[in-house]
Amino acid sequence: MTDSIAPDTHIGRVALRVTDLDELVSFYRDTIGLDVLETTATTATLGVGETQLLELTATDLPKRTREETGLFHTAFRVPTRAALADALVRVERDWQLSGASDHLVSEALYLRDPEGNGIELYVDRPREEWERDEAGNLRMDTLPLSLSSLREAGDPERRMPAGTDVGHIHLEVSQIPASRTFYTEVVGMDEPVGLPSPYGESSLFVSAGGYHHHIGANSWNGRTEPATGRGLDWFELVVPDADALAALSARLSDAGYDVDDSDSELRVHDPDSIELRVRVEP
């Protein structure tokens, strides 16, 4: 059994609890550009092609309070800068951006859905262009991103292309040290940007296989209580095989976490009671 998670682990689906299911389905279909894959009276699954990326479930729970932990943003990664340009003009046609940043490793657009859930739309720069410091840590930053060239190249009628996925998820947590222990020492992810993070001690970026981050976390807004309202329901990591799943299940159990597992999936809650699901690559 290894103490590190499999290097080809990646983010799978993200699930949200929402109040107005129809409005959220329309938003993620028309503005974000996802395909509607399955629907029932109370749920919807969206993605690209046959790949499921987002699950929405109708709820009558209240809005998340200012004290509750949960989602900072879901980050949909597109395979090309042209696809990011298309996303920009769709958003500016139908909605409103809240920000745009150059992170050195990627270019990103930010917005919120109609119920306030954060969204990042981004494209990675080629890995060979990622800069490192003298210690070998990846360099990340938040610099202004010029939108003029993207805007000129975008076509709002083009939807999210094949190869789009959830590149990472960013969480709001109560304490970075507890999150760091869980996601690095127990789950077995690495901190490729080094310590402290480029955004200080109040943030954390962890990944598998040398990626800049699959999971981000921050305590910027002083959240202190587990989430009970609408918003993030759970998120998913995908591991390559049953051996990787079993190794992770053993590490979680050995660390004292209550693990609900089956042959192909496990469920566990992190220190902020955020549900993490892990399944085997189909």
The C-alpha R_g of the chain, in whole angstroms, comes to 18
Q: In what order do the strands lie in the sheet with 203-206?
A: 143-144, 99-102, 106-112, 118-124, 70-77, 165-172, 215-218, 203-206
* CB atoms near residue 214 (< 10 Å): 23
Would you mind telling me the total number of residues written for the chain in this entry?
Answer: 282
Sheet of 275-280, strands arranged across: 35-39, 43-48, 51-58, 10-18, 231-239, 275-280, 265-269, 260-261
pLDDT in tens, 136-162: 999 999 999 999 989 999 999 999 999
| The two structure tokens encoding residue 86 | 């298309």
Alpha helices (runs of H) in 71-128, residue ranges in sequence order: 81-94
Q: Name the nearest CA neighbour of 161 among 262, 47, 244.
A: 47
What the chain holds in terms of domains, given with CATH numbers, is: 10-280 (3.10.180.10)
Please check whether residue 6 is in contact with residue 208, taking contact to mean a CB–CB distance below 8 angstroms.
yes
Under 8 Å between Cβ of 65 and 225: yes
User: How many H helices and E strands in the chain?
Assistant: 5, 16
Q: What is the largest CA-CA distance in the chain?
A: 55
- pLDDT tens column, 27-71: 999 999 999 999 999 999 999 999 999 999 999 999 999 999 999
Burial class (CB in 10 A: 0-12, 13-18, 19+), 146: exposed
Is residue 91 helix, strand or coil? Answer: helix
Q: Report yes or no: 188 and 207 within 8 Å, Cβ to Cβ.
A: no
Q: What is the pLDDT of residue 3?
A: 84
The whole-number pLDDT of residue 1 equals 39
Positions in the chain short of pLDDT 70: 1-2
pLDDT at site 265:
95
CA 140 and chain centroid, separation: 17
Task: Provide CB contacts within 8 A for 86, sequence distance 6+.
Answer: 33, 154, 155, 156, 158, 159
Q: Which residues contact 182 (CB under 8 A, 6 or more apart)?
A: 270, 271
Whole-angstrom distance, CA of residue 134 vs CA of residue 114: 43
